[in-house]
Amino acid sequence: MKNSKTKILVEGAIMVALATALSFIRVFRLPWGGSITLLSMLPIVLFSIRRGVKSGLAVSFVYSLIQFAQGVIGGLFGWGLTPAMLIACIFLDYIGAFTVLGIAGLFRRKGLPGWICGISLAVFLRFVLHLLSGVIIWQSFGELWNGFFTESTWLYSFLYNGCYMLPELIFTLAGAIALLEVPQTRRFLITDEAM
């Protein structure tokens, strides 16, 4: 039993390290935050599928703390937020947004359709938290692209966050499907409990 817990901890640490390394490979970066990365969520969602929601949430919480540390290094405290806005930003854009990735294993016993649903739900919840942050904290509106202007903070946040979260979802699903469709990889990644 102890060996099994140690194995799960080691696997979780490896997945967090891999996700963190992949988060530095940015395919596209938006000017005011958010970027499309090279499959940075994939290790976390695969761990949740492999080990379940409880372990997935624990690992994704650790990943959220690392993402927060990267945000601090990136200048989070220099953005001019009030203390209340800063706390809300930390929760919505970092702790909450990355911890919800751990629920990807919610439907893990349903095979590939369940894995797709779990990953989609997890990434959608991350999008919702970023959307709320855009509306509540940043209250942004204005020109998004040449000639496209909106005064709606909801529409602005929806479009802005959707610009990077939709490609992130597509890349993560494509990566998961590619890995989980190969029988050898599927046996390696998925424990007997998840099948």
> What gap in Å lies between CA 34 and CA 57, rounded to an integer?
22
Say which residue the tokens 């940075």 belong to: 40
Cβ(43)–Cβ(20) under 8 Å? Answer: no
Report the pLDDT value the prediction gives residue 44, as an integer from 0 to 100.
98
> What gap in Å lies between CA 150 and CA 154, rounded to an integer?
9
- pLDDT (tens, 9 = 90+) of the chain, 195 residues, equals 566 889 999 999 999 999 999 999 999 888 777 789 999 999 999 999 999 999 999 999 999 999 999 888 777 777 778 888 889 989 999 999 999 999 999 999 898 899 999 999 999 999 999 999 989 988 877 766 667 777 888 998 999 899 999 999 999 999 999 998 888 877 877 765 544
Report the pLDDT value the prediction gives residue 47, as an integer from 0 to 100.
95
Cβ(140)–Cβ(160) under 8 Å? Answer: yes
pTM for this entry: 0.88
Report the pLDDT value the prediction gives residue 122, as an integer from 0 to 100.
98
> What gap in Å lies between CA 25 and CA 35, rounded to an integer?
10
Report the pLDDT value the prediction gives residue 3, as an integer from 0 to 100.
66
